Amino acid sequence: MGELLPGEALIYERSDGVVYARYRDWPEVPRWIIGGDPASVARAQGDMLHYSDWQDLCRLAKEHPTLEKLLDQLVTTYYIVKDNK
């Protein structure tokens, strides 16, 4: 969101760990994210994983061989796709 409309009242809402703001008297202006739990905000913005989730995934992969193998395949696929751009 760019600049706020001066003098307009805002309503703050919390949903699934994300804090949104919206104008009270301007329903045509969609609400926007202003903060919240970083992982929840990442999901609300369409990200698959927050960085802390990625770190947890990597830690778990060290304990579970199947997950480690799948994660290795994912990283290999990522580099293949990235290099073919």
pLDDT, tens digit only, all 85 positions of the chain: 568 999 999 999 999 999 999 999 999 999 999 999 998 999 999 998 888 889 999 999 999 999 999 999 999 999 999 988 7
Paired strand residues for 18: 15, 36
- What is the pLDDT at residue 2? 67
Together in a domain, 40 and 56: no
Burial class of residue 18 in the structure, from the number of CB atoms within 10 Å of its CB (0-12 exposed, 13-18 middle, 19+ buried): buried
- What is the pLDDT at residue 20? 98
Question: For the chain, percent helix, then strand, then coil, each to nearest 5?
Answer: 45, 20, 35
**Total structural domains within the chain:** 2
Q: 55 is in which domain, residue-wise?
A: 51-85
Together in a domain, 4 and 43: yes
**Length of the chain counted residue by residue:** 85
